Amino acid sequence: MRHTVIDPVGVLVEDADVESLEPSQVEEIRTLAAEHGVVVFREQTLDDVRFADFLRSLGEIVFTEGETPVDGHSDLNVISNVGRTTTPRSTFHVDTSYVAKPPSYTALRAVTVPREGGQTVFSNQYRAWETLPVDMRSDLEDRTLTHVVTGLDLPDDAESSAEHPLAALHPLSGRRSLYMSTPKRCASISGMTAEQTARTVQFLYDHSTAERNVYRHTWQPGDVVLWDNRCVMHRADHSGVVGDRVMHRGMAR
């Protein structure tokens, strides 16, 4: 599978049709995602049925309670600025990290691309971990972080909190990544006071999302972008958007 590496995170795959992947190609995509975090496919023509099939080839599709489903496809959700009177807000985060078994993969399919703006920004959490001071890595490598849900109206019986290793070992790449989310979802670090947690989380977040550690994806019609939540954070950049922006999202674990 021909591809070009994107610095500091991601690859652009140049010769794949995600509608008709062979099992060996699916495994190669898993490997690319594990090694590089983000996999970009251009000029795709798939509809939502095929998009869901692509996600199923990677694992069990999961849906986040409280999101808006795509009409006719209850396992996908829609992300849209159409009809909004206020600009959406987005900070770097990991999808659904407040459950015990979070989705390994998230993918977006570009349905409507704005004339300007609307990028999605990705951070390299391998590099975020590996570029921390040695003494800080030593202090944090055996600690856990409790993730909590924010901004969603969940049923009473839904999962809303989960504890995960802060220095997560990726099962495919064998590398450690800094597994965290937006600070409001990072409730506590094991062995730390609330004040220590807040200070540490903010430092780690700022370190992870520094401009040198992020890739800004400018959307084109036909784009499909897959990323590995185990080694990447992401956010939408809603500043300066001109025109409608509609994405369909799916997740798999």
Instruction: For 112-153, write each residue's pLDDT tens digit.
Output: 999 999 999 999 999 999 999 999 999 999 999 999 988 766
What's the pLDDT score for residue 150? 82
Q: 159: pLDDT confidence band, cut at 50, 70 and 90?
A: confident
Q: Quote the domain boundaries for residue 165.
A: 3-252
Structure tokens at 157: 């019986």
User: Which of 45, 41, 34, 36 lies closest to 12 in space, CA to CA?
Assistant: 41
Length of the chain: 253
In this structure, are residues 97 and 181 in contact, taking their beta carbons and an 8 Å threshold?
yes
- The amino acid at 89: R
- Rounded to whole angstroms, the maximal C-alpha distance in the chain is 51
In this structure, are residues 17 and 224 in contact, taking their beta carbons and an 8 Å threshold?
no
Q: What percent of the chain has pLDDT over 90?
A: 88
Structure tokens at 221: 């019609």
Instruction: Please give the backbone phi and psi of residue 34, each rounded to the nearest 5 degrees, phi first.
Output: -65, -35
Name the residue with tokens 């990544």.
Answer: 177
In this structure, are residues 213 and 124 in contact, taking their beta carbons and an 8 Å threshold?
yes
For residue 105, pLDDT beyond 70:
yes
Name the residue with tokens 């009809």.
Answer: 83
Cα three-residue angle 240-243-244, rounded to 5 degrees: 115
Q: For 40-95, what is each residue's pLDDT tens digit?
A: 999 999 999 999 999 999 999 999 877 889 999 999 999 999 988 787 788 999 99
User: Which of 215, 161, 153 lies closest to 8 in space, CA to CA?
Assistant: 215
From first CA to last CA, the distance across the chain in angstroms is 23
Helix 48-58 and helix 23-36, axial crossing angle in degrees, nearest 10? 70
What's the pLDDT score for residue 158? 72
What's the pLDDT score for residue 86? 83
The rounded distance, in Å, linking the Cα atoms of 20 and 53 is 10
Helix (H, G, I), strand (E, B) or coil at 248: strand
Number of compact structural domains in the chain: 1
CATH number at residue 128: 3.60.130.10
In this structure, are residues 189 and 201 in contact, taking their beta carbons and an 8 Å threshold?
yes
